[in-house]
């Protein structure tokens, strides 16, 4: 019997795995997707090969790419974009690590307190979470991003908005800044050349500005796995989890089983309480089913699959909040066309942002041509100039919001992929019970009944909608300030990629699944340690860092409550994921 079984080796599961392994616990990690152990052979820097959600090496599907992806029902114009595989959705993330805004936590008494999602605050204070933020920021590590051309252009626009530069970790008012990124700084020849012979480790260290963050980071060439520039958990927390005996005095390396789709969480009634006792999973290659028992089970399969697994396991749901309250930051996209080079497709995917606490945030994003076209071809308001579904959305952008399609798409791209600038709108969106995960009426797949994700896009709360309009206008103003000749707004339907709060913790039993320790209210010894545990949408900031800080805190709670351990965060000094002991163990074990 194991001490802990962690379901999912993504942004949160890998953190729980590493923390508990570092404490010497016997941890089994199940991951539905593959472990890509040899990226130089298995990956390319090509966007369709990497990111096609049906066929790419980054998709929600089995590691055997000849097999279909795993279908989830989405009964509206929308796109659900999460990944299986070790690293989870961090495999394609941009490493952005802003902290949440203080206003989304209990006990906040700033003058703007009423501007946040006050019905769904975290059940503890921002200050309570700070030591865990610091722990994760040190471990990844998180650093102030360097600039390329597109950042220079973004900042030139931000400078016209009349807001200051943020020079602190905590966001306190409207401001702009370089991202705090989990990306190693460029060293040596990195960032100065395209000559591959000059981009080998250790001649080059850290980010080489290749522009392929979304296609997975494997730079510099021949670097050890834990020294790839982007600190996705396949490059940071999982290598640590798999080598814990090498860098922690009483650490015990986890057992990782990839290609293992968890199909059921088992429980028993112990001392009158429903208690988690183990997990069954299915080998996605052979179909064989396995089961192991554990003292504690940690769910980290993500915002869509956690509710599915919970419901398929028949676990209790007395207040019907399992799967509800899905926040997705109500994304939108505003694009400026310029008559000079912006370097849009080069460098770190996103290194510049602006924050408007109480409303949301903006960030620059660089894309290759297929993804850029996807972005321009995605809208809830039809095709610009042809139809608008009755949504005539006007503002500081040109014309009504809608898709750029046909000749308009071609013209925009012929202007030059490196003569445009993208601004992603990340809205502070309310937790709403109508946006949720349930089980689909469509046929089950080989792992059981599938998830159905519904978003009532046009029915969002007034605060959410107003926030998005505010942010879209700011994005357009920034682009005009930077000198854009044309500015287009897309009005995206739900692009469910920043995901939060479907198994939320909360202050009240009436509308939460977890208590403030991360333990399930109705199932003892069952914890959740990923984005689904977040109480709300954080006010807009990219969720990974907060999920990882929360997962660290939850892991410490597990250690103290069920394994007789002591608190250690804020007391000990964390080992960094690029520590020599980790590197040597990664190399000697062929990871």
Q: Is 165 a binder of other proteins (CB under 8 A)? A: yes
The residue from 292, 396, 398, 418 that contacts other proteins (CB under 8 A) is 418
Q: Which helix (H) or strand (E) holds 336?
A: strand 332-337
Cα distance between residue 113 and residue 102, in whole Å: 9
Q: Find all residues with CB under 8 Å of 581, minimum gap 6, and list them.
A: 243, 246, 247, 575
The Cα 95–Cα 280 span in angstroms is: 32
Does residue 55 interact with other proteins by CB under 8 A?
yes
Q: How far is the CB of 447 from other proteins (least distance, A)?
A: 12
Q: Does 310 bind other proteins (CB under 8 A)?
A: no
- Residues with Cβ within 8 Å of 407's Cβ and at least 6 positions away in sequence, in order, are none
* Residue from 48, 250, 273, 459 binding other proteins (CB under 8 A): 48
DSSP 24: T
Tell me the three state secondary structure of residue 485.
Answer: coil
- Told to check if 152 binds other proteins by CB under 8 A, we report yes
Site for other proteins in 553-572 (CB under 8 A): none
One residue of 33, 123, 178, 518 binding other proteins per CB under 8 A: 178
Q: Is 167 in the site for other proteins (CB under 8 A)?
A: yes
Nearest-CA neighbor of 332 among 212, 464, 433?
Answer: 464
Q: Is 239 helix (H, G, I), strand (E, B) or coil?
A: helix
Q: Is 289 in the site for other proteins (CB under 8 A)?
A: no
- Computed over its alpha carbons, how large is the radius of gyration of the chain? 22
Q: Is residue 573 involved in binding other proteins (CB under 8 A)?
A: no
Smallest distance from other proteins to CB 241, Å: 26
Kindly give the residue spans of alpha helices, DSSP state H, lying in 210-301: 237-241, 244-247
Q: Does 403 bind other proteins (CB under 8 A)?
A: yes
Quote the least distance from Cβ 83 to other proteins, whole Å: 16
Residue 329 has phi, psi (to 5 degrees) of 65, 15
How far apart are alpha carbons 359 and 62 in whole angstroms?
A: 38
Q: How far is the CB of 161 from other proteins (least distance, A)?
A: 15
- Rounded Cα gap, residues 102 and 425, in angstroms: 20
Residues 66-85 that bind other proteins (CB under 8 A): 68-69, 71, 73-79
- Beta strands, E only, 348-417: 352-356, 360-365
Burial 103-122 (b: 16+ CB within 10 A, else e): bbbbebeeeeeebbbeebbb
Q: Which stretch binds other proteins (CB under 8 A): 12-20, 330-338, 378-386, 476-484?
A: 378-386
Contact 363, 154 (CB under 8 A): no
Q: Is 406 left (phi over 0), alpha (psi -120 to 50) or beta?
A: left
Of 102, 157, 325, 347, the residue at the interface with other proteins (CB under 8 A) is 347
What is the pattern of x (binds other proteins, CB under 8 A) and - over residues 198-237? -x----x---xxxx-------xxx----------------
CB of 61 to other proteins, least distance (A): 8
Q: Which of residues 461-520 bind other proteins (CB under 8 A)?
A: 493
Q: What is the rounded CA–CA span in Å between residue 562 and residue 27?
A: 14
For other proteins, which residue of 118, 170, 319, 461 counts as binding (CB under 8 A)? Answer: 170
Q: Is position 46 an interface residue for other proteins (rule: CB under 8 A)?
A: yes
Q: Of 103-111, 114-122, 320-328, 339-347, which part binds other proteins (CB under 8 A)?
A: 339-347
151 scored as a contact of other proteins (CB under 8 A)? yes
In 3D, which of 535, 583, 24, 545 has the Cα closest to residue 233? 545
> In the bound complex, what is the minimum distance in angstroms from residue 23's beta carbon to other proteins?
25
Q: Is 528 in the site for other proteins (CB under 8 A)?
A: no
Among 26, 49, 283, 398, binds other proteins (CB under 8 A): 49
Q: Which is nearer to other proteins, 47 or 328 (CB)?
A: 47
Contact between 144 and other proteins per CB under 8 A: yes
Q: Which of 376, 423, 484, 528 binds other proteins (CB under 8 A)?
A: 376
In the set 248, 322, 417, 479, which binds other proteins (CB under 8 A)? 417
Is residue 285 near other proteins by the rule CB under 8 A?
no
Q: Are 142 and 236 in contact (CB under 8 A)?
A: no
């Amino acid at each position: 019997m194991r001490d802990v079984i962690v379901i999912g080796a993504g942004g949160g599961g890998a953190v729980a795995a590493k923390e508990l392994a570092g404490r010497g616990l016997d941890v089994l990690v199940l991951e539905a997707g593959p472990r890509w152990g040899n990226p130089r052979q298995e990956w390319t820097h090509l966007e369709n090969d990497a990111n096609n959600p049906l066929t790419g090496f980054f998709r929600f599907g089995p590691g055997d790419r000849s097999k279909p992806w795993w279908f989830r029902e989405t009964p509206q114009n929308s796109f659900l974009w999460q990944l299986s595989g070790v690293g989870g959705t961090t495999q394609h993330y941009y490493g952005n690590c802003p902290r949440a805004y203080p206003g989304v936590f209990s006990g906040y008494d700033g003058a703007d307190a009423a501007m946040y999602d006050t019905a769904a605050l975290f059940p503890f204070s921002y200050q309570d979470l700070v030591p865990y933020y610091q722990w994760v920021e040190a471990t990844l590590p998180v650093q102030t991003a360097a600039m390329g051309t597109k950042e220079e252009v973004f900042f030139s626009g931000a400078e016209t908005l009349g807001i200051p530069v943020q020079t602190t970790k905590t966001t306190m008012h409207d401001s702009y800044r370089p991202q705090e990124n989990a990306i190693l700084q460029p060293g040596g020849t990195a960032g100065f050349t395209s000559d591959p012979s000059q981009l080998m480790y250790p001649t080059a260290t850290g980010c080489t500005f290749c522009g392929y963050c979304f296609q997975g980071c494997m730079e510099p060439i021949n670097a050890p796995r834990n020294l790839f520039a982007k600190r996705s958990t396949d490059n940071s927390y999982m290598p640590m989890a798999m080598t814990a005996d090498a860098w922690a005095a009483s650490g015990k390396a986890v057992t990782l089983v990839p290609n293992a789709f968890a199909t059921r969480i088992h429980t028993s009634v112990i001392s009158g309480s429903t208690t988690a006792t183990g997990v069954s999973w299915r080998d996605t290659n052979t179909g064989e089913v396995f089961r192991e028992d554990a003292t504690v089970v940690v769910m980290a399969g993500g915002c869509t699959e956690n509710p599915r697994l919970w419901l398929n396991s028949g676990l209790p749901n007395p207040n019907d909040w399992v799967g509800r309250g899905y926040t997705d930051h109500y994304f939108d996209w505003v694009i400026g066309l310029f008559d000079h080079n912006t370097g849009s497709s080069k460098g770190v995917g996103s290194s510049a942002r602006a924050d408007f606490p109480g409303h949301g945030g903006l960030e620059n994003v660089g894309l290759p041509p297929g993804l850029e076209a996807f972005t321009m071809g995605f809208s809830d308001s039809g095709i610009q100039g042809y139809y608008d579904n009755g949504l005539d959305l006007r503002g500081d952008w040109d014309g009504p919001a809608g898709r750029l399609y046909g000749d308009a798409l071609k013209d925009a791209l012929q202007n030059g992929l490196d003569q445009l600038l993208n601004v992603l709108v990340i809205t502070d969106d309310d937790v709403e019970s109508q946006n949720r995960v349930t089980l689909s009426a469509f046929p089950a797949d080989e792992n059981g009944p599938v998830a159905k994700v519904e978003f009532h896009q046009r029915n969002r709360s007034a605060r959410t909608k107003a926030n998005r309009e505010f942010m879209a206008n700011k994005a357009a103003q920034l682009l005009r300030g930077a000198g854009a000749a044309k500015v287009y707004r897309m009005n995206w339907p739900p692009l469910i990629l920043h995901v939060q709060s479907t198994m939320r913790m909360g202050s009240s039993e009436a509308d939460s699944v977890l208590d403030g320790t991360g333990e399930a209210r109705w199932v003892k010894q069952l914890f959740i340690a990923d984005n689904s545990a977040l109480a709300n949408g954080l006010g807009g900031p990219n969720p990974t860092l907060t999920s990882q800080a929360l997962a660290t805190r939850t892991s410490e709670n597990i250690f103290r409550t069920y394994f007789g351990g002591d608190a250690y965060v804020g007391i000990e000094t964390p080992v960094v994921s690029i520590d020599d002991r980790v590197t040597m163990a990664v190399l000697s074990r062929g990871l």
